[in-house]
Chain A
Amino acid sequence: MNDIHTLAGAYVLDAVDDIERAAFARHLADCPSCAGEVAELLETAARLADGTWSVPPPRLRTDVLAQVSRTRQVRPGGGSGRDRRTAGSRWRTLSVAAVAAVVLAAGAGAVTWTVAQQRVRDERVATAAARAETERIRTVLAQPDLAVQRRGLSGGGRLTVFSSPGQDSGVALLADAPPIPADRAYQLWLMDGETARPANVLPAGVNGDTVVLTGVRGRSAVAVTVEPAGGSAQPSTSPLAIVPLT
């Protein structure tokens, strides 16, 4: 029995043959703790699909929806009970999955929001410069060497930095940062070890924005501080977040 248990990894990765699969499934039915482990590892293995995302051809959608409309669903229950798990492991998996969902939802929301902000501003200002900025953001985001890092701000909100060393540029998204008075502004800094080089200054009183960073190559981090409107030459307050670039 112990021997078959070592198959858990191969089973989860679908790297067993049919006979072994059946034998292992039988084993799981009698071993609640193994079932718990397998359920968790299945969830882990599914994360390996994260990097394989690929947009399918549009006709797949048409075909699937058409087939679904004439396919009867199976009745509830009667499924295999092989992945039953203990309360403890269930809790753990649930919480990990739930936290992941929340983190991702928060991130996606922030990006949508800041991009929407950008769009609103573009429409209002309607200048060629603003449109060019949007275009630059898109260009940076399309770089193959793009890396992403996200950190929370002390006091709330997030700073997300996309950086492309190849293009020597990046995009910073400040979202839901603490509100500031109209005579203050959020300012970004490109860190070179301990040295802070002034980067973008956000409009006064604004606590969320999307901006293009230049000169990121060789820099270690992006920091954000609150400064007098218009920005400072040196940080005058301590950083609310430091986002590493590598």
Chain B
Amino acid sequence: MTDPSGARRRPDHLVPVPTTGNTGRVDDADTLLPAVARGDEAAFTRLYDLVAPRVYGLVRRVLRDPAQAEEVAQEVLVEVWRTATRFDPERGSATGWVCTIAHRRAVDRVRSEQASADRQLRVAASAPTVTHHDDVEEQATRRLEQQQVRRCLGDLTDLQRESITLAYYGGHTYREVAELLGTGLPTVKTRMRDGLIRLRDCLGTAVAR
């Protein structure tokens, strides 16, 4: 398992791309989050600007209610500040970490709301919604990301895709997903897992082009 020569190191060919004279925009979540962990509020403000639309958008997509989404997004972003000290860069990206917190919180809210039954099973596995944003640069990046995810989702089987999107965007448990799709529990569990594995490989290879 372990390489006896100890040669397994972090790849050093992945040096940052030189910025061609454009100012700013060198911030990325992976460098900001450790600064936030040291209590740097200015770094948190920059991190906020970077991740807030992603957090708010995801929470809103799951909750389908702007007012609740705002509330939950606030909880998530304060949680990011509070627990930044627990972020371990060796376990994944900062953006991934933030999204994981956001999704968990959104789903918790959905579950607690479920009793009041104001949400219906109309949550569709539709294409991601797009909000107009004025910034050309953000737009290009976002669209490239979106296209990639959509393309990779398109490569899954229908059952894999529906299982994943109903759970992720709809906030449903796998039991609910099984009911919605009229499939057995073991099948849904398996499709979620092998669908994600396929998605991982697709996103991985497409990115490393």
- CB atoms of A13 and B168 under 8 A apart: yes
Q: Whose C-beta in chain A lies nearest to the C-beta of B105?
A: A14
- CB atoms of A54 and B196 under 8 A apart: no
Q: Take A40-B200, A90-B90, A141-B139 as given contacts and tell me if A52 and B54 are in contact as well, using a CB distance cutoff of 8 Å.
A: yes
- CB atoms of B16 and A7 under 8 A apart: no
In residues 70-129 of chain B, which contact A (Cβ within 8 Å)? 70, 73-74, 77-78, 81-86, 88, 90-93, 95-96, 99-100, 102-104, 107, 127-129
The number of chain A residues with a CB under 8 A from chain B is 92
Alpha-carbon gap, A71 to B167, bound state (A): 32
- B181 close to chain A: CB less than 8 A: no
Residues of B within 8 A of A63 (CB): 74
- CB atoms of A95 and B70 under 8 A apart: no
- CB atoms of B207 and A15 under 8 A apart: no
In residues 73-91 of chain A, which contact B (Cβ within 8 Å)? 73-79, 83-88, 90-91
- The interface bits of chain B over 185-206 (1 if a CB of A lies within 8 angstroms of the residue's CB, else 0) are 0101111111111011001100
- B146 close to chain A: CB less than 8 A: yes
- B28 close to chain A: CB less than 8 A: yes
> Distance (Å) between the CB of B171 and the closest chain A CB?
8
- B177 close to chain A: CB less than 8 A: yes
Residues of A within 8 A of B146 (CB): 50-51
- The interface bits of chain A over 157-199 (1 if a CB of B lies within 8 angstroms of the residue's CB, else 0) are 0001010000000000100100000000000000000000000
- A22 close to chain B: CB less than 8 A: no
Residues of A within 8 A of B132 (CB): 142
Q: Whose C-beta in chain B lies nearest to the C-beta of A14?
A: B107
Selecting from A110-118, A122-130, A224-232, A233-241, the interface stretch reads A110-118
- A203 close to chain B: CB less than 8 A: no
Q: Whose C-beta in chain A lies nearest to the C-beta of B177?
A: A15
- CB atoms of B22 and A113 under 8 A apart: yes
In residues 42-86 of chain A, which contact B (Cβ within 8 Å)? 42-57, 60-61, 63-65, 67-69, 71-79, 83-86
- A12 close to chain B: CB less than 8 A: yes
Q: Whose C-beta in chain A lies nearest to the C-beta of B131?
A: A54
In residues 102-151 of chain A, which contact B (Cβ within 8 Å)? 102-113, 115-116, 137-138, 141-142, 144, 146-148, 150
- A41 close to chain B: CB less than 8 A: yes
Residues of B within 8 A of A77 (CB): 85-86
- CB atoms of A104 and B128 under 8 A apart: no
- CB atoms of B174 and A10 under 8 A apart: yes
In residues 19-37 of chain B, which contact A (Cβ within 8 Å)? 19-22, 25, 28, 30, 37
| Interface pairs A-B: 6 shortest CB-CB | A51-B128, A9-B192, A9-B193, A54-B57, A46-B99, A56-B56
